[in-house]
Homo-oligomer: A and B are copies of this chain.
Amino acid sequence: MESRRRIDRALKSCLDQATAAPCPPRLGDAMRHAVFPGGARFRPEFCLAVAEACGGAHPALADAAAAAIELLHCASLVYDDLPCFDDAAVRRGHPTVHAAFGEELAILAGNALIVLAFDALARAGGPHPHLLPGLLRVVARGVGGPSGIVAGQGWESEAGLDDLGRYHRAKTGALFEAAVIAGAMTGGGDPLQWTGLGYRLGEAYQIADDIRDAYGRPELLGKPVGQDRAHHRPSAVRELGLDGATGHLNELVDQAAGRIPACAGRNDLLAHLRRWSEQLLAAPPPLAASLHS
Knowing A110-B111, A145-B31, A151-B22 are in contact, say whether A156-B104 is a contact too (CB < 8 A): yes
Which of B82, B85, B130, B140 contacts A118, CB < 8 Å? B140
Task: Note all chain B residues with C-beta closer than 8 A to A157.
Answer: 24, 26-27, 101-102, 104-105, 108
- When chains A and B are docked, how far (Å) is the Cα of A167 from the Cα of B118? 24
- When chains A and B are docked, how far (Å) is the Cα of A141 from the Cα of B116? 9
Residue on B with the closest CB to A98?
A: B84
Query: A108 touching B140 by the CB < 8 A rule?
Result: no
Query: A82 touching B107 by the CB < 8 A rule?
Result: yes
- When chains A and B are docked, how far (Å) is the Cα of A85 from the Cα of B103? 9
Main secondary structure of the interface of A (DSSP, over half): helix
Task: Note all chain B residues with C-beta closer than 8 A to A150.
Answer: 27, 108-109, 111-112, 115
- When chains A and B are docked, how far (Å) is the Cα of A105 from the Cα of B156? 10
Query: A108 touching B18 by the CB < 8 A rule?
Result: no
Residue on B with the closest CB to A84?
A: B103
Asked if A136 is at the interface of the complex by the 8 Å CB criterion, the answer is: yes
How many copies of this chain does one complex carry?
A: 2
Residue on B with the closest CB to A131?
A: B129
CB of A85 to closest CB in B, whole Å: 6
Task: Note all chain B residues with C-beta closer than 8 A to A23.
Answer: 145-147, 151, 154
Q: Which of A119-127, A246-254, A269-277, A281-289 contacts B (4 or more CB under 8 A)?
A: A119-127
Which of B27, B103, B116, B136 contacts A154, CB < 8 Å? B27
Q: Which of A72-100 contact B (CB under 8 A)?
A: 75, 79, 82, 84-85
Query: B129 touching A26 by the CB < 8 A rule?
Result: no
Query: B137 touching A133 by the CB < 8 A rule?
Result: no
Query: A84 touching B104 by the CB < 8 A rule?
Result: yes
CB of A11 to closest CB in B, whole Å: 14
Knowing A26-B154, A107-B107, A154-B23 are in contact, say whether A136-B118 is a contact too (CB < 8 A): yes
Query: B123 touching A137 by the CB < 8 A rule?
Result: yes
Asked if A12 is at the interface of the complex by the 8 Å CB criterion, the answer is: no
Asked if A239 is at the interface of the complex by the 8 Å CB criterion, the answer is: no
A contact residues vs B (CB 8 Å cutoff): 17-28, 31, 75, 79, 82, 84-85, 101-105, 107-112, 114-116, 118-119, 121-123, 125-126, 129-130, 132-133, 136-137, 140-141, 143-148, 150-151, 153-158, 166, 170
Across the A-B interface, the 5 shortest Cβ-Cβ residue pairs: A129-B129, A115-B144, A23-B146, A27-B154, A122-B136
